[in-house]
Chains A and B, each alone.
Chain A
């Protein structure tokens, strides 16, 4: 499979993944293009893998986490409550208000917690798979998920920890 064929098949899914992980379309664009750039120089090896998509998602995650670390060092991040401006005026739409609340809660997650949540609830990955992507232990993954669920006040049919 060529890199172009791979992109044609997987770009849509990678875009959704990057958008979910970063929570910012411009950052997602940057992170994903950086990740794809890294992949191009090693495509022959990556394409021979059993699941190139999983490898590239891992590169997206590491690129994102690296970017967040750099952003923290730069100390130029705006308030994590990016929805504050939206709340300056009342929005008549209840749906928008609800979305605003979800975005506000998501903004309280750490980058690793957010990645863990995306991998679990968007890609339905097991704790082992998440641990592999985040390069940490399963126990750490469970801790990330637990804290994230508490922060998000997740209710309803929350799946139990899975291995």
Chain B
């Protein structure tokens, strides 16, 4: 064998560039999903620059089933465990109002994130988050979502009130900065659903059928409604967060 034969042989097994990039995207989604499930990072949230308010009449009716059914396809991780992981991971648990300034960015891996400015922030656990802070939520869009069949995206209250976990950059490894995983807060109740992969298992909850905000085209409300919305008293969540 001579060198030219050797170098020719080396060139006969080049993978297809589009396949490599597709594989990379798939693995990144899996990693994001895993981080979400283990409470070490934001994952699968869908946030938009202009929120729309959806009501049950504009989508398929929500399931009024019991709490344990609401997290089908998401992590089998109770809210208590999620909050414990957040506290031990250096994240902040907050109640706040969120507004979307309409800014988007990409992290180093190419995922899109939308900015959300927090106001009236009350930090329940972890490092204090100041009002006016900008956090980033994953901006994956579309009915399939970042993790098809699992996370339904992101929802928050029509007036912007939300419950959330703010993850520091050093915990997520994401280049965008502070990232946020949210749930709506309506009438002193935290609305848990597959939007954000929240799990109300074991918590006192009642079915919720009210309006929530989402991004046009994200289909988050309808996707989450398929598994039902569960209203958990804010005082219960605050108690869990403060443990």
- Residues of A at under 8 Å CB distance from B? 2-4, 7, 11-12, 15-16, 18-20, 22-26, 28-30, 32-34, 36-37, 40-44, 98-99, 101-103, 105-106, 117-118, 121-122, 152-158
Contacts and interface: CB of A to CB of B under 8 A. Distances in A.
A43 B13 contact: no
B7 interface: yes
A16 B7 contact: no
Given A15-B20, A16-B10, A155-B2, 10 more contacts: A19-B12, A20-B13, A25-B16, A30-B23, A40-B28, A40-B110, A102-B5, A102-B8, A121-B3, A154-B3
B173 A154 contact: no
B27 interface: yes
B160 to A, nearest CB: 31
Given A32-B20, A33-B24, A43-B175, A121 B15 contact: no
Chain B interface mostly: helix
A2 B110 CA distance: 9
Contact of B2 (A16, A103, A156): A156
B179 to A, nearest CB: 13
A29 B6 CA distance: 21
A19 B109 contact: no
B15 A19 contact: yes
B1 A155 contact: yes
B14 A42 contact: no
B10 A118 contact: yes
27 contacts: A2-B108, A4-B106, A11-B21, A12-B17, A19-B12, A19-B13, A20-B13, A24-B13, A25-B14, A28-B13, A28-B14, A28-B15, A29-B16, A33-B21, A36-B24, A37-B24, A40-B108, A40-B109, A41-B109, A43-B108, A44-B175, A102-B1, A102-B9, A122-B7, A122-B10, A154-B3, A155-B1
Interface string B210-236: 000000000000000000000000000
A25 B13 contact: yes
B20 A11 contact: yes
A22 B109 CA distance: 25
In this complex, the member of A26, A28, A157 whose beta carbon has the largest number of chain B beta carbons within 10 angstroms is: A28
Nearest to A12: B17
A25 to B, nearest CB: 5
Nearest to A24: B13
Contacts of A41: 108-109, 173
Given A15-B17, A15-B20, A33-B23, A3 B10 contact: no
Contacts of A158: 3
